[in-house]
Amino acid sequence: MEESKSTMLEQNKQEKPMSVLSKSLITGFVGGVLWSFLGAIAYYFNFTTISSGSFVLRSFFQTEWTGTWLGELISILVIGLLSLATALIYFSVLKKTKGLWPSILFGVALWLITFFVFQPVFQAVPKVGELDGNTIVTTLCLFILYSVFIGYSISYDYQVESESQSQSQNTEGH
C-alpha cells in the first residue's frame, strides 16, 4: 500500500519546465552547430571559398590539419559555443520582438560585423572586396538563416512563456 502511494505521488509530480534563457542557450548552440555544418557543406561543394575553419582555426594556426575534416569539426563545435553568446545577446535585446524581420536584420548585422569589423582578426578570410559573389551571397544567406533560426525560436519561446504566465495569473485571480 505504501509503495503504491509513493508511486502515485511520483506520477503526480511535474518536472519544472526549462527557463526561456536555458532554451535560448540550447537553441544558440544547436543553431551554431547546424548552420556551421551547412556552411561546411557549402564550402565542400564550392558555393563559398571560406568555411568555419577559415574563421576559427586557419586564421590563427597555419598547420595542415586545420584544413581537414577534423579541423572543420572542431571549428563547428567552437562556433556552437560562440553561438551561446549570440543567443544571449538576442535574448537580452530582441526576445520581445515578433516576426522574421528582426531576426533577418540581426543576421545581416552579424554578417557585417563579422566581415567588416572583425575582418582584421580573421587573417584567413579575404576582405569582402576580394570575395567572389557566390561566397558573399552564400555566407550572407547562411548568417540570415542562422539568425532566423535562433531569433525566431527565442522570440517564440518567450511569447509562449509570457502567454502561459499571464494565463496562470488570470486563473489565480478568479
Dihedral in degrees, nearest 10, Cα atoms 43, 68, 123, 147: 50
Per-residue confidence (pLDDT) for residue 164, from 0 to 100: 84
| Lowest-pLDDT range of 6-10, 41-45, 64-68 | 6-10
Reply yes or no on whether the pLDDT at 73 is more than 70: yes
Least confident of 46-55, 90-99, 165-174: 165-174
Per-residue pLDDT band for 174 (boundaries 50, 70, 90) equals low
Mean pLDDT score of the chain? 90
**What's the pTM?**
0.85
